[in-house]
Amino acid sequence: MTSTPWLDLENADQRRWALIYLRTYRGAVITDKGLDGWLIQERGKDSAVLARMKLAWGQVQRRKESKRAGEKACSFVLSSKAKRHLDTLAKQNKSSIKDFLETLLSDEYEEASQQKIAARNAAKKAAEKEKRLRKILEAINSALHECITELTQRTIMMETENLSIDDISEEQKSRSAALHSETLKKFTTKRLMLPRDEVFSRGMERPT
């Protein structure tokens, strides 16, 4: 039997790969018929070529498994210091370098996604708050406009009747105070109320 535990020469794909590997990477001049004899010869000695060939076949199998699992091989260069740090961190986490990097990248990606969502929600809340504040300002401006209109109309009426504020009696002052409270209450009920920190900026106190 010429096959090995890791190389089945009865398998057409593996046989084809072995021939390509030996011809391309080892520069061996070998035919398909001569492959079995070559393998028997190499197995009979401590063959470095056969050992490297086994490693190469293992890499081929891992790439196939990675492809089936949705993985992709990456090739990059790290400094010696960075590689030592990576080895240490993987060891501390009782993980392989590959699994450690995948976990690290997954965690960082998840955190970045959460930050993006939080920023989007914060922007949405800020826009909603601004919209509510604009409605409050519109309500206040509308109420103020009504007060100014009524005040000017009453001023004209008083001038027409030759009346002055200095001439009002104590009873009229009392009625004026009651009317003031009633008007103020009417004014405040028209406002669109929000929590205190939305109506007044920090450092400002609500009037008493």
pLDDT of residue 127: 94
Q: Which of 47, 26, 101 is nearest to 18 (CA)?
A: 26
The count of C-alpha atoms lying within 13 angstroms of the C-alpha of 127, restricted to the half-sphere facing its C-beta, is 6
Is the pLDDT higher at 48 or at 44?
A: 48
Q: Which of 87-101, 142-156, 190-204 has the lowest mean pLDDT?
A: 190-204
| Structure tokens, 129 | 């708050």
Give the whole-angstrom CA distance, residue 187 versus residue 147.
Answer: 9
Give the whole-angstrom CA distance, residue 104 versus residue 89.
Answer: 10
pLDDT tier, 46 (very low <50, low <70, confident <90, very high otherwise): low
Give the whole-angstrom CA distance, residue 3 versus residue 35.
Answer: 10
CA geometry: angle 37, 43, 48, nearest 5 deg = 110
pLDDT of residue 206: 44
Give the whole-angstrom CA distance, residue 187 versus residue 139.
Answer: 10
pTM value?
Answer: 0.41
Whether the predicted pLDDT of 97 surpasses 80: yes
Residue pLDDT, tens place only, 172-185: 778 877 877 777 77
Q: CB-based contacts of 34: which residues, under 8 Å, 6+ apart?
A: none
Residue pLDDT, tens place only, 107-139: 788 888 889 998 999 999 999 999 999 999 998
Whether the predicted pLDDT of 104 surpasses 90: no
**Quick one: what percent of the chain has pLDDT higher than 70?**
82
pLDDT of residue 69: 67
Integer-rounded Cα radius of gyration of the chain: 43
Give the whole-angstrom CA distance, residue 15 versus residue 4.
Answer: 12
pLDDT of residue 190: 54
Average pLDDT, the chain: 78
pLDDT tier, 79 (very low <50, low <70, confident <90, very high otherwise): very high
The mean per-residue pLDDT over the stretch 89-112 comes to 83
